[in-house]
Amino acid sequence: MSLIVQKFGGTSVGDIERIEQVADKVARFRADGHQVVVVVSAMSGETNRLIALANEVQERPEPREMDVLVSTGEQVTTALLAMALIKRGVKARSYNGSQVRILTDDAHTKARIRDIDDANMRRDLDDGCVVVVAGFQGVDERGNITTLGRGGSDTTAVALAAALKADECQIYTDVDGVYTTDPRVVDGARRLEKITFEEMLEMASMGSKVLQIRAVEFAGKYNVPLRVLHSFQDGPGTLITTEEESDMETPTIAGIAFNRDEAKLTIQGVPDTPGVAYKILGPIGEANIEVDVIVQNVSHDNTADFTFTVSRNDLPQAEDILRKTATALGAREVSSDNKIAKVSVVGVGMRSHAGVASQMFEALADVGINILMITTSEIKISVIIEEKFLELAVRSLHSSFGLENDPEELARN
Ligand code: ADP
Ligand code: ASP
Ligand code: MG
């Protein structure tokens, strides 16, 4: 008998019929003798619907009130799933975040989990109950409802699995695993049998939303065996693992990630003196705006041009701040562009293979795509390009790195 945490995403609990199907699946695991904790998301579209309602009332509602509102979506699906299980003769109890006591910090809308009380869950599991927990939410020390950021139910599942020392955390979704790139964008995308935590973390950070970044971080830190699977099709899914293949077998590139949520800001003609980067980025950081890619060019007149990217949501605020900095520094001009996107190739095999960057740049040049900015790490190369070229870039890179389905394998299937 093993203890399994299973998370079902929004489309998997999108209507009553699907909730019934999820209940069938969970009931089968119980019948096989496993102890099961289920984490559910809100029905697909529900969180967006709630956010839209809030925005009808106020453009920027207080984060505390947003959390009270958006956490309701997950409470609905927990109760419905528990009912569907009980109807099948399976003992089940639903809990919201504060009832479990998933304690978080007080950073509303992006809270971090601090501690999980496993007493209620343990008691129910010992009693033969399926425990159904609302994803994406917690409670701070003062009893305020908090949420963990979009896609946060993945993190709830991994955190519960860590707290309960579960044998496996299974993330059930609308694709049958982690692919070489988003299968909705590239037809030839291939499911990976395995991917390392490190690679998965880069893929998630670079924009592959199949797993929330924090979920991968958590799983890596606490060694939670993690698998991504299709909710309604049987199959092995993708295992996220700490093991790297032997050097011979390591593919250079595991996958290609992309992110449309990027905007670029440029400040031109700043004096090229020590501390200038700090003067430009300091106020941006103080406003809690994350800066992603940074490039500085020095021109012949001893001034510098400084370009960096932020998330699109943050662009208006970042631009206001930068304009103030520009006035203070006597810079020539500030400009912005939100029609850009980031494409990244990710793979631990890069460490032992030279030439990945040049292959990437060549593939993009071959289809006439201009690179606006470049950034690299040990296992990733990212470029910023015009958004209109994004899909072309992803497809070209996917085929240049030989990631598409192996035709022989296709014939066999
Ligand atoms: P859920 O609601 O179950 O949490 P998400 O929509 O958050 O599901 O995540 C699943 C989606 O992630 C897929 O439908 C797919 O379009 C997208 N996706 C992006 N990159 C990848 C990738 N590399 N592999 C698999 N899916 C990906
Ligand atoms: N319902 C939340 C969202 O849409 C959390 C989740 O689904 O993981 O972001
Ligand atoms: Mg998700």
Please give the order of strands across the beta sheet that includes 333-346: 291-298, 303-310, 255-271, 333-346, 380-386, 373-377
Q: In testing the pocket of ligand 1, which one of 192, 209, 239 has its CB within 8 Å of the most ligand atoms?
A: 209
Ligand 1 mean position to 114 CA, how many Å? 27
pLDDT attached to residue 245 = 63
344 lines ligand 1 (CB under 6 A): no
pLDDT attached to residue 311 = 93
Q: In the structure, which protein residues have their CB atom closer than 6 angstroms to any atom of ligand 2?
A: 9-10, 41-42, 47, 73, 135-136, 150-154
Please name the residue whose Cα sits nearest to atom 5 of ligand 2. 151
Q: In testing the pocket of ligand 2, which one of 12, 77, 136 has its CB within 8 Å of the most ligand atoms?
A: 136
237 lines ligand 1 (CB under 6 A): no
Relative to the alpha carbon of 135, which ligand is closest?
2
Ligand 1 mean position to 45 CA, how many Å? 15
Q: What is the pLDDT of residues 297-329, one digit of tens each?
A: 888 788 999 999 999 989 999 999 999 999 999
Relative to the alpha carbon of 189, which ligand is closest?
1
260 lines ligand 1 (CB under 6 A): no
How far is Cα 108 from Cα 67, in angstroms, rounded to an integer? 7
pLDDT attached to residue 406 = 62
82 lines ligand 1 (CB under 6 A): no
347 lines ligand 1 (CB under 6 A): no
With a threshold of 0.75, does the pTM exceed it? Answer: yes
Instruction: For the beta carbon of residue 289, count every other beta carbon within 10 angstroms.
Output: 17
pLDDT attached to residue 413 = 38
Please name the residue whose Cα sits nearest to atom 4 of ligand 2. 47
9 lines ligand 1 (CB under 6 A): yes
Q: Phi, psi at residue 174, to the nearest 5°?
A: -95, 10
CA distances from 292 to 132, 225, 312 (A): 37, 30, 12
Going by pLDDT thresholds of 50, 70 and 90, the confidence category of residue 384 is very high
Q: What is the pLDDT of residues 133-191, one digit of tens each?
A: 999 999 999 999 999 999 999 999 999 999 999 999 999 999 999 999 999 999 999 99
Question: Per-residue pLDDT averaged across 326-346, rounded?
Answer: 95
- pLDDT for residue 371 is more than 90: yes
10 lines ligand 1 (CB under 6 A): yes
Please name the residue whose Cα sits nearest to atom 17 of ligand 1. 210
Q: What is the pLDDT of residues 113-124, one digit of tens each?
A: 999 999 999 999
Q: Sketch out the chain's domains with CATH numbers.
A: 3-174 (3.40.1160.10), 245-413 (3.30.2130.10)
Going by pLDDT thresholds of 50, 70 and 90, the confidence category of residue 249 is low
Can you give the chain as a three-state secondary structure string? CCEEEEEECHHHHCCHHHHHHHHHHHHHHHHCCCEEEEEECCCCCHHHHHHHHHHHHCCCCCHHHHHHHHCHHHHHHHHHHHHHHHHCCCCEEEECHHHHCEEECCCCCCCCEEEECCHHHHHHHHCCCEEEEECCEEECCCCCEEECCCCCHHHHHHHHHHHHCCCEEEEEECCCCCECCCCCCCCCCCECCEEEHHHHHHHHHCCCCCCCHHHHHHHHHCCCCEEEEECCCCCCCEEEECCCCCCCCCCCCCEEEEEEEEEEEEEEEEECCCCHHHHHHHHHHHCCCCEEEEEEEECCCCEEEEEEEECHHHHHHHHHHHHHHHHHHCCCEEEEEEEEEEEEEECHHHHHCCCHHHHHHHHHHHCCCCCCEEEEECCEEEEEEEHHHHHHHHHHHHHHCCCCCCHHHHHHC
pLDDT attached to residue 354 = 85
Q: Phi, psi at residue 19, to the nearest 5°?
A: -60, -40
Relative to the alpha carbon of 12, which ligand is closest?
1
How far is Cα 195 from Cα 240, in angstroms, rounded to an integer? 5
Ligand 2 mean position to 275 CA, how many Å? 40
